Copies of this chain bind each other. A is one copy, B any other.
Amino acid sequence: MMGGNDQQAYDRGTSLFSPDGRIYQVEYAREAVSRGAPSLGVRTADGIVFVAMSRATSTLMESESIEKLHKLDDHLGTASAGHVADARQLIDLARRQSQGNRLRYGEPVGVETLTKFVTDHIQENTQRGGTRPYGAALLIGGIENGEPRLFAADPSGTPNEWKATVIGGGRQDIQGVLEEEWEEGLSLAEGIELGVRALAAHEEEFVPGDLAVATVTEAEGYRTVPESEVSEAFEAAGLAGDEDDDETSADDDGTDETDADGDGE
């Protein structure tokens, strides 16, 4: 996609444009995101569904500690992809802003307002010197005035609203499934099923335990979906959720930061 000698002069500094108007460090930060495992969000009639590939690189790692999905407020959640430590900074920022809004105004922050607060912070790191961009992307979704809304924040600091989208590795395949199958009026269960099926388009073999799923609805707020329900979605999606095959398979997209142990395995 990029190559040759011409770019070498421009890709080393955050604060520089290349002659064709690109900021390479931002594009490389996007590359860092696409090296990570995918996380997706689906807007349904009942609320937002988050599904994240969250498979541990070792059987001894507690997979819930991989933490791709986070509650931000009662009716607000987020899914991340890319450089794990960078994502944590952005999630902390979003959470502090949510809490601050509640303290100051006694009500939850809006989904769009919160997303733009985060993307403004991301943008600053792409313009000022002395820092690199964030190598992480976020989906921020929740219920605002009774309506489910879903936003994505990328490493350039651009916010966009989506019906359904994916961040991280395998984006092309997974977004393709979402575009083909998403429709207005999906139920929450159908949204989970769609999310699971879309991830399967990218990676053939995985089990319910490899996924983290959460929903945000008016009725229940942010809710972590238990593995039993994920298994049901697996079956409904026609996938072989064979839990016996619990080996840690080699990941073609293995540059995910969850492999951040220095062995390069």
Using a CB–CB distance below 8 Å, which chain A residues touch chain B?
A: 1-2, 8-25, 27-35, 58-62, 64-66, 83-86, 88-89, 92, 116, 119-120, 122-123, 125-135, 151, 154-165, 171-172, 175, 178-179, 182, 255, 257-258, 260-265
A178 to B59, CA, bound (A): 10
B15 A132 Cβ-Cβ under 8 A: yes
Write the nearest CB–CB distance from A94 to chain B, whole angstroms. Answer: 14
Q: Please, which residues of chain B bring their CB within 8 A of the CB of A24?
A: 19
A58 to B261, CA, bound (A): 30
B131 A165 Cβ-Cβ under 8 A: no
A172 B85 Cβ-Cβ under 8 A: no
Q: Please, which residues of chain B bring their CB within 8 A of the CB of A83?
A: 23, 156
User: Top 5 A-B pairs ranked by shortest CB distance?
Assistant: A30-B262, A21-B32, A21-B31, A85-B157, A65-B161
Known contacts A60-B162, A133-B17; A261/B22 CB under 8 A? no
Known contacts A162-B62, A261-B171, A262-B34; A84/B156 CB under 8 A? yes
A85 B119 Cβ-Cβ under 8 A: yes
A31 B17 Cβ-Cβ under 8 A: yes
A21 B1 Cβ-Cβ under 8 A: no
Known contacts A12-B16, A132-B23; A156/B260 CB under 8 A? yes
A92 to B199, CA, bound (A): 37
Known contacts A1-B264, A15-B130; A163/B21 CB under 8 A? no
Q: Please, which residues of chain B bring their CB within 8 A of the CB of A65?
A: 151, 159-162
Q: Which of A66, A119, A158, A172 has the most CB of B within 10 A?
A: A158
A14 B12 Cβ-Cβ under 8 A: no
A27 to B156, CA, bound (A): 20
